[in-house]
Amino acid sequence: MALYELQKIDSKIDEINKVKGELPLEVQDLEDEMAGMKTRIEHINAEIEELNTLTKQRKRNALQMQLNLAVEAERFEEAAKLRDELRALEK
């Protein structure tokens, strides 16, 4: 019976050593995965910034067109309001 218990303990020790040996590889895999996710986040943030810039530019263009139409139609109060919006966008 003692030999059987000793073999069980020895098997457990082997199992623990095996897990300990695999642990650095698992840690490295997780670190690599984190680095990949950080890169993805950076790319997504850059894309968001680009889209925000495009949105702002298009809004500015739309306001400029509305301003031109208001001036042509001699709607000066509307034109002044649109100029203020354009100035606010520039800040």
Query: pLDDT tens-digit profile of 11-55?
Result: 888 888 887 888 888 899 999 999 999 999 999 999 999 999 999
The answer, yes or no, to whether residue 91 has pLDDT greater than 80, is no
Query: What is the SS3 assignment for 91?
Result: coil
What does the DSSP assignment read for 20-61?
Answer: HHHHHHHHHHHHHHHHHHHHHHHHHHHHHHHHHHHHHHHHHH
* Rounded distance between C-alpha atoms, residue 89 and residue 31, angstroms: 42
pLDDT-derived band at 4 (thresholds 50, 70, 90) equals confident
pLDDT-derived band at 6 (thresholds 50, 70, 90) equals confident
